[in-house]
Chain A
Amino acid sequence: MALLVDKLRPRSLDALTYHPDLSSRLSALASSADFPHTLFYGPSGAGKKTRILALLRSIYGAGVEKIKIDARVFATSTGRKLEFNIVSSVYHLEITPSDVGNHDRVVIQELLKEVAQTQQVDLNARQRFKVVVINEADSLTRDAQAALRRTMEKYSANVRLILLANSTAGIIAPIRSRTLLIRVPAPTEPEICAVLHHATATQKWKHIPALNERIARESGRNLRRALLMLEAVYATTPDPTEKTAIPPPDWEMLIAQIADDIIAERSPKQILVVRAKLYDLLTHCIPPTMVIKTLCWKLVDRVDAELKPEMVRWAAFYEHRIKLGSKVIFHLEAYVAKVMRVYEMFYAGMGLDLD
């Protein structure tokens, strides 16, 4: 009894409900003998992975669904042991190099070469090459991406790569030029509503279009999220109506609390209170950029119109710093201090001229 989002996942290109153009192009690709390296990119919850799996299935047949997980151990140059999970079927192999953080280069170098140097074992396979799916390609380090460049050309006889990224920004140009870029846009709200409707139908749940629309809007056009929200609504309230609140995820609630704290009192003491909560978020694996972004939006909801641009401005400023720096909490705290000060100055009628 898996969750809806996984249970209802379409498994073939034909079953995909939206982006029909893309689906047809993919099936054309699959049927051709030549399959290029590809880079799928698009926001999360748009259906990239689903499309890739469907694509693989149409290339190799149902065999790709017989997958297993292998744990491999790699040694870094310093002798540290890295554990690494590989999901694989006979025809393809799926890796997430960012699992090993900064050592992803080792994995890319060793693993890819190893795979590339062996030929397809199954003589009945429809294609001579194997496919390596690289998840989170945009978080690959530069080194790892550089290691990828030459491999992609040299071993193209045996291996095709499918890279998966949220945006192409993190991918170096040489790689972009070696791949076929396939953009998977987020589904539109009506498309999401359609999916939600389908989902409720399979579950024999009451169909509430207004609720679905709300969910689609709240989900930020993230289909995965929308489905999970839908299920959450039905899980918490057995008999939902149009007005039923959509339970926000835990971390979002905490960030909302932080925003309230900041508005309620502005003092160094309060910064300490907020710091504890920020620490909580960070330790519980909420990425800092997500924290600062969410916090910013929550603050924007709560402040005067004139202050909104300031909130965003500083959020952007410190988000950049989070990327540049190493100790995230420093920048988050600086943002909080800045917001408090700006807020206080504004309400003291002093204008927003800092310094």
Chain B
Amino acid sequence: MPPDIRNFFGGGSQKPSTAAKKASDNPAPKKKRGRKVVDDSDDEEITETKPKKAELEKAKSKKEKPQPKIEETTSSEYFASNSKAKTSKSTPIRAKPHENKTTRNVDTTPSKPRATNGATPSSRRSTRNIPARKYADNETDDKARVLDDDEEGNDDIHADEFARKIRNGQDDYEESDESHGSPIRHKARTANGTQKQVKVPTKLKPEAGAEMSGAAGYDAPGEAKSAKEKLTAPSTAGRKRKSKSAELEEDDFLEEDEVPKKRARKTPTKATAKKATKREEKEESKEMQAIFDSIPTVRAPTPPARDPNNKYQYNANQHHAPPPGAGSKVPPTGAENCLAGLTFVFTGVLDTLEREEGQALVKRHGGKVTTGPSSKTSYVVLGNDAGPKKLETIAKLKLKTINEDGLFELIRRLPPNGGDSKAAEKHAEKNEKEEKAIREAAAEMERTDREAAKAKAAMKVGQDGHRVTSSASSQQRKAPAADSRLWTDKYAPTAVSMVCGNKGQVEKLQNWLRKWHNNAKYHFKKAGPDGSGVFRAAMIHGPPGIGKTTAAHLVAKLEGFDIVESNASDTRSKKLVEDGLRGVLDTTSLLGYFSGDGKKVEASKRKLVLIMDEVDGMSAGDRGGVGALAAVAKKTSVPMILICNERRLPKMKPFDFVTWDVPFRRPTADMIRARLKTICYREGMDLPASVLDALIEGSHSDIRQIINMISTTKLDRQTMDFDDGKAMSKAWEKHVILKPWDIVGKILKSQMFAPSSTATLNDKIELYFNDHEFSYLMLQENYLKTQPALINNYSGRERNLKLLEFADKAASSISDGDLVDRMIHGTQQQWSLMPTHAVFSFVRPASYMYGNFGERVGFVSWLGQNSKSGKLSRYVKEMQGHMRLRASGDRHEIRQQYMPLLWQKTVKVLQDKGKEKVPEVIDLMDSYFLTKEDYDAMIELGLGPMSEDNVKIDSQAKATFTRMYNAQSHPLPFMKASSVVAPKAAKKVKPDLEDAIDESDGEELLAENEVKEDEEEDVDLKKDKYIKAPKKKHAAKGAAKSAPKGKKRGKKAADEGGDEVGDEVDDSESEEEVKKPKKGAARGGRKGKGKA
């Protein structure tokens, strides 16, 4: 139907415009014009409408035996018989189309030969008689088209309405209609049942109806009409129609008018069509009606009065009891597809079925399940505690409500494919239509295939040395032997229209690509309407299997670009990206200059597009690849299309603002289903829609996977039923690994352990295994943040007691779990204990503490704390290593006993006494061989009252300390081998010191030089042995003099520059040092030694 509708509107609007043009060269919009014209000349309009009406009338009166009459006469008749028409309203509209046809034929003879198709318009013209000729031609064409469509659509429409009626459950109406067929009835019906539908048209042209009625009044007198007016009239009439249907009372003639235009107004047609269809229905579906009637309906409870203050507690239902009689009834198995065309809504808790089961049951039998009741709902399956909102809607729409038994009854009694009920029929028709479209698509596909094959064959022939001209011979060679391509290739879309979903995005991409070279002329400075003009590269991203690669290739092909592709199968490290792409970026395709034998050179092929697939697959081996690619994308001279799954990954960050993002979404089931049906049809398979839907749902709209599934099925059978589909998609299910957050959210949510929960212990353990390294840590982090559901029944002190009891149980269970963990990860490596660990550390604690989250789910802090403790314990170790020559304690004693005192004597002193005490502090530190790093570590190691946050050393004291410390040489017990090279650079970046440097640049310079000298000496002393410092000073000095060689060696090692003589090295070092003076200077030299 949709195409019809479109046609209608298109046609409708066209008409007036053409007419208007001819009549008055008015450039105003069509609609307006139409109206205007009407206003200007009501009379004329009338005449126009008359003929139609007349025809209709005839039809009605004679029922399908239209007699060709002269229009004039008919019109006059018509006028005369306005009242008659009313009575005859109930005449089946169905007949009308036929009438139309016949009348058309009759009419056509007088009118032009052209009009054969669109008889009605021509007839109109003829009614108008003499005047219309000029425009008539144009008109006829348009109208003819429209009419044709209408005819085709007629049946459908009836069916539709029928179906609707059924849904609305207005059996009474139908009956009464049949018996009386009075217009009034009709009104009532529409009022009740179709109100909504009617609304749409009324909206379109509320005034039109009024005009029409006015026009009708005029009709009687009016004879003279200008052709133009006539022309416009039909269109307005069409619009009016809609309004009419809303206000059915209007004249018969209106309805009659409708007939020819029926199609055009979807909704209005309903109203009219109903009458006609009623009869049909009656006749057809007596048995069905009986069935439907026999289904016990349930009166929906009146929705509770809305209390704005009292919000409905959705949470209250959250852990609703399980279906009371779960499992007591066996759901029936009905005939196949017996619920076809029916739409169900479930609400409340059913007696024996879980809601999901109920929905699956309906789906299995071909019914449709929606979540909210609407006028299209056939049945509401009502359970206990239905939502008040839904009840309200039900009451408002007067929907049929049944209970579970009713549903079972329906399934049991309805014949396969829904029998001949209206709904089923409509469904069948819809299917048929779909089928038709599918067949067309399939045919189209076949055609293109054949063409391709032909072309191929031709090429082959050419290559073989035969003359290509023998097209006959190539044609004879039929399509190539069985196509061995994968279905996914075979049925890849070849036109934008064939892409499933994301059409807008594909078009955007196509536009971008088309304009690319144009944009290039402006150096990508012009953003263009969609902002894509400034990007040299586009980035398609979306989940797998929805056609990103296909779309990219398709677009490139359609725009005549030659494709260079690179994907994860190519190594794409930084270097390779840079080198590899350099070859591509500034080139044009050879295809623009040469081509295979016998083919024309296509100049357009000269353009290249680079498709980088699976960009997020650049990983370990492709170091720097992403960055390089982003850099290339910034200045490429060839359009690039990048494709990835996950755009928001941190590693895709370099592409921000570099590429034009084109997000692809999962197509909806409808989009995919059509395509799949086409494929099935071509492959000669018969898969019902419900099966396809199951596949689509099961695969999360992954088209590629579904096609693969179908193609697998094809290997051994021709069809598949609902359960097979479910089973298959289950088997092919992509297991989504939950993120730690989701895991903990799931296990702790109140439903998980509620009595009604169907989750088994294994399910819960399974959750743990989603990420066995994090899940229990996450639980441990968060189990205390819930409002445990178990304590809901307690209050006051008891509540707190219970709360603590559960917390304690959970905590001790986690503690138990840790013991198991040790057995797994410790020396025993008993991995088979993993499920035990899952239960102890994850499931059991959650079973006590499950409930709603009061706050955000936090991430595991254990990891951070663990690494921090690792860092700090390294500090302590280092401190202890330094102090070792003096203090005998191990590192725990150092931390617990020495450190507090040392802190008092250094940090605290600096904080309280300021800079005067600096020398003392440094002296103390030196006596324990503590370095500046140890001092910083000490600050960091403080706890509680001594914690780092509480340390506020005034910046001057700090500066003085730093300066003085750097200015002196310090005894150093030894140098860590590892700290010689790397960490030095890092340590220099201490922001605090910057002030100090600024303050005293000059001093610093001097000091630095002195330090240098000292250092040199120092260096000598230390040359190879880490002799205990105090002694060193004496002993080493002697040594330095005696062994200059050793010294040199040490220095060399220290400076990577290598060859220079010691002094030079020092100079260069000192310059550096001046820039960033720190403790560094002295240490630098020493460390070098250490290394040596």
Contact = CB atoms under 8 A, between A and B. Distances in A.
A251 interface: yes
Contacts of B898: 3, 228
Contacts of A350: 801
Given A69-B974, A326-B821, A329-B865, A99 B877 contact: yes
Interface string A190-231: 000000000000000000000000000000001011001001
Contact of A250 (B826, B868, B890, B943): B943
Contacts of A318: 815
Contacts of A168: none
Closest 3 pairs (CB-CB, A-B): A49-B888, A254-B944, A325-B818
Contact of B942 (A96, A250, A279, A331): A250
Contacts of B801: 341, 344-345, 348, 350
Given A69-B884, A325-B822, A266 B1028 contact: no
Contact of A324 (B805, B819, B861): B819
B935 to A, nearest CB: 16
A334 interface: yes
Contacts of B811: 271, 330, 333-334, 336-338
A321 B804 contact: no
Interface in B811-828: 811-812, 814-815, 817-819, 821-822, 825-826
Contacts of B885: 67, 69, 87
B901 A235 contact: yes
B888 A85 contact: no
B903 interface: yes
A318 B902 CA distance: 32
Nearest to A225: B897
Interface stretch (A110-118, A281-289, A304-312): A281-289
A286 B887 CA distance: 19
Contacts of A3: 887, 898, 901-902, 905, 924, 928
Contacts of A50: 888
Interface of A: 1-3, 5-6, 9, 44-45, 49-50, 53, 66-71, 73, 83, 85, 87, 96, 99, 135-136, 222, 224-225, 228, 231-232, 235-236, 247, 249-251, 253-254, 257, 266-269, 271-272, 275, 279-287, 290, 318, 321, 324-327, 329-331, 333-334, 336-338, 340-341, 344-345, 348, 350
Contacts of A136: 890
Contacts of A99: 877
8 contacts: A69-B885, A71-B1090, A83-B976, A228-B897, A235-B901, A285-B941, A286-B895, A318-B815
B872 interface: yes
Contacts of B905: 3, 235
Given A250-B943, A267-B800, A324 B822 contact: yes
B818 A68 contact: no
Interface string B1018-1043: 00000001111001000000000000
Interface of B: 780, 784-785, 797, 800-801, 803-805, 807-808, 810-812, 814-815, 817-819, 821-822, 825-826, 861-862, 865, 868-869, 872-873, 876-877, 881, 884-893, 895-905, 920, 923-924, 927-928, 941-947, 973-978, 1025-1028, 1031, 1090
A139 to B, nearest CB: 9
Instruction: Name B's interface SS.
Output: helix
B972 to A, nearest CB: 10
A285 B872 contact: yes
B862 A329 contact: yes
A72 to B, nearest CB: 8
A160 to B, nearest CB: 20
Contacts of B1090: 71
Contact of A325 (B819, B888, B947): B819
Contacts of A269: 784
A70 B947 CA distance: 33
Given A3-B898, A283-B869, A326-B826, A268 B803 contact: yes
From A333, A334, A336, name the one whose CB has the most chain B CB atoms within 10 angstroms: A334
A67 B865 contact: no
Contacts of B887: 3, 5-6
A318 B898 CA distance: 28
Contacts of A73: 977
A338 B816 CA distance: 14
A306 B809 CA distance: 22
B818 A326 contact: yes
B815 A334 contact: yes
A224 B893 contact: yes
B974 A250 contact: no
Contacts of B818: 321, 325-327, 330-331
From A135, A224, A268, A334, name the one whose CB has the most chain B CB atoms within 10 angstroms: A268
Nearest to B1035: A66
Given A284-B941, A286-B895, A232 B901 contact: yes
Nearest to A235: B904
A340 B804 contact: yes
B130 to A, nearest CB: 94
Contacts of A1: 920, 923-924, 927
A87 B895 CA distance: 20
A156 B84 CA distance: 131
A134 to B, nearest CB: 12
Given A69-B881, A338-B811, A2 B893 contact: no
